[in-house]
Chain A
Amino acid sequence: MILDVRALHKSFGQLEVLKGIDLQVAERELVFVIGPSGSGKSTLLRCCNRLEEPSSGSIRVAGIDIMAPGVDINAVRRRIGMVFQSFNLYPHLNALGNVTLALQKVLKKPKNEAQDLGVKALTRVGLAEKAKAYPNELSGGQQQRVAIARALALEPSIMLFDEPTSALDPELVGSVLAVMREMRESGMTMVVVSHEMRFARGAADRVVFMDQGRILEQGTPQKLFNQPEHSRIREFIASIEH
Chain B
Amino acid sequence: MGKFADTFLNWEVMAQYAPKVLEGFFVTIQLAIAVVVTGIACGLLLAVARTFRLRVLNFFIVAAVDVMRALPPLVLIMILYFALPTVGIKFSGFVATWLALSAILAAFSEEIFWAGILAVPRGQWEAARSTGLGFMQTMTHVVLPQAVRLTIPPLTNRTIAITKGTALGATVAVGEILYQAQTGYSFSYNPSPLTLGAIAYLILFIPVVWFGRWVETRFAWKR
| A contacting B, Cβ–Cβ less than 8 Å | yes
A230 at interface, CB cutoff 8 A: no
Q: Is the interface of A mostly helix, strand, loop or mixed?
A: mixed
A76 to B146, CA, bound (A): 26
A81 to B127, CA, bound (A): 10
Q: Which residues of A contact B124 (CB under 8 A)?
A: 88, 90
Question: Hey, which bits of chain B sit against chain A, CB under 8 A?
Answer: 121, 123-124, 126-134, 137, 141-142, 145-146, 149, 223
- Would A51 and B130 be within 8 Å (CB), given that A90-B142, A101-B141 are in contact? yes
Contact present for A88 and B146 (CB under 8 Å): no
A88 to B137, CA, bound (A): 17
Q: Which residues of B contact A7 (CB under 8 A)?
A: none
A102 at interface, CB cutoff 8 A: yes
Question: Which residue of chain A has the shortest Cβ distance to B144 in the bound complex?
Answer: A92
Contact present for A51 and B133 (CB under 8 Å): no
A207 at interface, CB cutoff 8 A: no
Task: Give, as a whole number of angstroms, the nearest-CB distance from A89 to chain B.
Answer: 7
Q: A82-B126, A89-B127, A105-B133 are in contact. List 17 more A-B contacts (CB 8 A).
A: A74-B129, A74-B132, A74-B133, A80-B130, A81-B130, A82-B131, A84-B123, A86-B123, A88-B127, A90-B128, A101-B131, A101-B141, A102-B131, A102-B132, A106-B137, A150-B127, A154-B132
A151 at interface, CB cutoff 8 A: yes
Q: Which residues of A contact B146 (CB under 8 A)?
A: 90-92
A32 to B37, CA, bound (A): 54
Contact present for A101 and B142 (CB under 8 Å): yes
Task: Give, as a whole number of angstroms, the nearest-CB distance from B120 to chain A.
Answer: 10
Question: Which residue of chain B has the shortest Cβ distance to A82 in the bound complex?
Answer: B130
Q: Which residues of A contact B132 (CB under 8 A)?
A: 74-78, 102, 106, 154
A122 at interface, CB cutoff 8 A: no
Per-residue CB contact flags for chain A residues 139-173 toward chain B (1 = under 8 Å, else 0) read 00000000100110010000000000000000000
Task: Give, as a whole number of angstroms, the nearest-CB distance from A125 to chain B.
Answer: 16
Question: Hey, which bits of chain A sit against chain B, CB under 8 A?
Answer: 49, 51, 74-78, 80-82, 84, 86-92, 101-102, 105-106, 136, 147, 150-151, 154
Question: Which residue of chain B has the shortest Cβ distance to A77 in the bound complex?
Answer: B132
Report how many A-B pairs have Cβ atoms within 8 Å: 70
Question: Which residue of chain B has the shortest Cβ distance to A107 in the bound complex?
Answer: B132
Contact present for A151 and B131 (CB under 8 Å): yes
Contact present for B123 and A106 (CB under 8 Å): no
Contact present for A74 and B127 (CB under 8 Å): no
Partner pick for A77 among B131, B142, B149, CB 8 A cutoff: B131
Task: Give, as a whole number of angstroms, the nearest-CB distance from A134 to chain B.
Answer: 11
Q: Which residues of B contact A151 (CB under 8 A)?
A: 130-131
Contact present for A92 and B145 (CB under 8 Å): yes
Task: Give, as a whole number of angstroms, the nearest-CB distance from A39 to chain B.
Answer: 21
A102 to B141, CA, bound (A): 10
- Would A150 and B131 be within 8 Å (CB), given that A88-B121, A92-B149, A101-B141 are in contact? yes
Contact present for B141 and A105 (CB under 8 Å): yes
A86 to B121, CA, bound (A): 11
Q: Can you list 25 A-B contacts (CB < 8 A)?
A: A49-B130, A51-B126, A51-B129, A51-B130, A74-B133, A75-B132, A77-B131, A78-B131, A78-B132, A82-B126, A82-B127, A82-B130, A84-B126, A86-B121, A88-B124, A90-B124, A90-B127, A91-B146, A102-B132, A105-B137, A106-B132, A106-B137, A150-B131, A151-B131, A154-B131
Q: Which residues of B contact A101 (CB under 8 A)?
A: 128, 131, 133, 141-142
A84 to B142, CA, bound (A): 16
Contact present for B126 and A77 (CB under 8 Å): no
A-B complex: 3 closest residue pairs judged by Cβ atoms: A88-B127, A88-B123, A78-B132
Task: Give, as a whole number of angstroms, the nearest-CB distance from A28 to chain B.
Answer: 22
Contact present for A106 and B131 (CB under 8 Å): yes
Task: Give, as a whole number of angstroms, the nearest-CB distance from B192 to chain A.
Answer: 51
